[in-house]
Amino acid sequence: MSVNCSRPVERYLMASLWSPGIFLVLVLALPLKTLPLVTLAETNVYIVYMGDKLHDEPELVQESHHELLADIVGSKDAAKESILYSYKHGFSGFAAVLTKSQEKLIADFPGVAGVVRNRIISSHTTRSWDFLQVKPQLAGRISKGHSGAGSIIGVMDTGIWPESKSFRDEGMAEVPSRWRGICQEGEGFNRSHCNRKIIGARWYVKGYEAEFGKLNTSDGDEFLSPRDAGGHGTHTSSTATGGPVESASFMGLAQGLARGGAPISLAGRLQSLLGYRWLR
Ligand SMILES: *[C@@H]1O[C@H](CO)[C@@H](O)[C@H](O)[C@H]1NC(C)=O
Ligand SMILES: *[C@@H]1O[C@H](CO)[C@@H](O)[C@H](O)[C@H]1NC(C)=O
């Protein structure tokens, strides 16, 4: 019955559209009209900062992020898909893939302190302490203070080259039991690369890949792991925590004594890495 009914309509359509001009216009107009609505709403990664966390339980903090975002993107499932990272320990916030208009909406939400767009930071610079005009006397003072014994330092940078002599752990005590970080594995980096000096390492690539697509590491410019391809992170972590290494240089440049500020320099590109080192 429905077939019979539709036939005259079909014939009518065919007749009225059977002009090559109109036909072409329709074929071109359909994708042009529908695409922008469906797929071309441009998205970017934004970091939503919410200040102090309102719960002590990390899971509750993360749950509050999903609830807030669900109001913007329509559902909890969509919220979970759009969130890349939840910040739920030191403060409350999250990184999410949003359109410009969603970003505007969320910025006005109660409890949201600020929203910043994700961006790529390029690294500069063996002599950070000289640049900062920190004198050896200070290093002496640090030594008197047992050179940071018992301290745990977190460094956010391009990663770490764990074979560097700066990170040898001879003579170091066991990892403190209060430490709850992990040694995250990846390309060229496994758990055996952490030691009593590098007590943890993590890598973060979701923000980059959400905006620019899969990171192709075949050229060796990056590792999908805490391993540092560019050298900046190794430089800054050893500046912060490394023991002194004579004749250190970056491929023959900037040769000199590399020393750690607490008996120690760093930077980053596509992947921001969080490495933790424990000082002597
Ligand atoms: C970790 O990596 C090292 C050096 O690359 C290798 O010798 C070792 O077998 C690896 N360990 C595991 C458990 O894969
Ligand atoms: C990665 O880049 C190399 C060249 O640098 C290319 O040959 C290879 O096909 C790329 N892989 C992917 C998955 O795109």
pLDDT tens per residue across span 147-187 = 566 677 888 888 889 998 888 888 888 888 888 888 999 99
Confidence at residue 134, expressed as pLDDT on a 0 to 100 scale = 55
- pLDDT-derived band at 135, boundaries 50, 70, 90: low
pLDDT of 139 reads: 47
Which mutation among 212, 215, 216 tests ligand 2's pocket best, with the greatest number of atoms within 8 A of CB? Answer: 216
Tell me: pLDDT of 146 over 60: no
Which of 58-62, 71-75, 204-208, 270-274 shows the lowest mean pLDDT across its residues? Answer: 270-274
- Is the model's pLDDT at 262 over the cut of 90? no
Share of the chain above pLDDT 70, in %: 61
- Does the pTM surpass 0.85? The reply is no
pLDDT value at residue 248: 44
- pLDDT attached to residue 99: 96
Average pLDDT across the chain, whole number: 72
Atom of ligand 2 nearest to the CA of 219: 5
Contact 85, 46 (CB under 8 A): no
Atom 2, ligand 1: which residue's CA is nearest?
A: 190
The residue whose CA is least distant from atom 7 of ligand 1 is: 192
List the structure tokens of 69. 């975002």
Question: In the structure encoding, which two tokens stand for residue 27, read together?
Answer: 């074929």
* pLDDT: which is higher, 130 or 152: 152
Separation of CA 10 from chain center? 55
Residue 173: partners with Cβ closer than 8 Å, 6 or more residues away: 196
Ligand 2 center to 219 CA (angstroms): 8
- The reply to whether ligand 2 has any atom less than 6 angstroms from the CB of 218 is yes
How much distance in Å is there from the Cα of 192 to the middle of ligand 1?
6
CA of 8 to the centre of ligand 2 (A): 54
Residue 216 in contact with ligand 2 by CB distance below 6 A: yes
C-beta of 192 in contact with ligand 1 (< 6 A): yes
Counting ligands in written order, the one closest to the CA of 193 is: 1
Which of these, 66, 14, 46, lies nearest to 207 by C-alpha position? 46
pLDDT at 47 over 80: yes
Distance (Å, rounded) from C-alpha 118 to C-alpha 97?
10
Ligand 2 atom with minimal separation from the 216 CA? 1
218 in contact with ligand 1, CB cutoff 6 A: no
Mean pLDDT of all residues in 22-34: 40
pLDDT at 37 over 90: no
What confidence tier does 102 reach under pLDDT thresholds 50, 70, 90? very high
Pairing relationship of beta strands 272-278 and 198-204 according to DSSP bridges: antiparallel
Of the residues 214, 218, 221, 222, which should be mutated to test ligand 2's pocket, given the most ligand atoms within 8 Å of the CB?
A: 218
Please, are residues 204 and 85 in contact by the beta-carbon 8 Å criterion? yes
Residues whose CB is less than 8 angstroms from the CB of residue 90 and which lie 6 or more positions away in sequence, other chains included: none
Does 219 contact ligand 2 (Cβ within 6 A)? yes
pLDDT band per the 50, 70, 90 thresholds, residue 132 = low
Residue nearest to atom 13 of ligand 2 (CA): 216
Our answer on whether the CB atom of 220 is closer than 6 Å to any ligand 2 atom is: no
Instruction: Name which residue leads in pLDDT, 144 or 150.
Output: 150
pLDDT of residue 265: 24
69: nearest Cα among 50, 51, 42: 50
Ligand 1 atom 12 nearest Cα: 190
Q: Sheet harboring 93-99: ordered strands across? A: 83-87, 93-99, 43-49, 114-117
> Quick check: 6 pLDDT over 80?
no
Nearest-ligand number for the alpha carbon of 194: 1
* Closest listed residue to residue 45, CA positions, set 204, 184, 186: 204
